[in-house]
Amino acid sequence: MASSGSAIFTNKVNIVERLSLIDPNLMGWQIGDKHIALERFPVPPLEEQYEIVAIIKAEAAKLDTLTAKAQRGIELLQERRTALISVAVTGKIDVREFARGGAEHYTNC
């Protein structure tokens, strides 16, 4: 039988046909010390752990750089959009041709 928190809001109870570390009847599928205290887990040598951490940090730095570049690109596009709207509203450019379907003139700008 499931421990506290199981199937509180419904009358449904998950049936597990094999032994599992996770009780699917627990709300949020929580795993605590009591579930894994007796289990043994392989741990790589300390040097290998340092290598793994270094690789993860390097990949995270690459992702941070790409995220910053993407954010800067978004900011530049927003600035360009704002400037285009401004010149169109003030009449500094004629957008009537574009509205009639003459967009090919503007695509090479």
Q: Could you give the angle at the alpha carbon of 27 between the alpha carbons of 21 and 28, nearest 5°?
A: 75
Structure letter (DSSP) for residue 104:
G
Q: What is the residue range of 68's domain? A: 44-99
Residue 44's pLDDT is: 87
Count of domains forming the chain = 2
Examine the domain organization and report whether 49 and 18 are in the same domain.
Answer: no
Residue 108, in any domain of the structure: no
Structure letter (DSSP) for residue 103:
G
Report the mean per-residue pLDDT for the chain.
76
22 within 8 A of 43, measured Cβ to Cβ: no
pLDDT digits (tens, 9 = 90+) for 57-67: 999 999 999 99
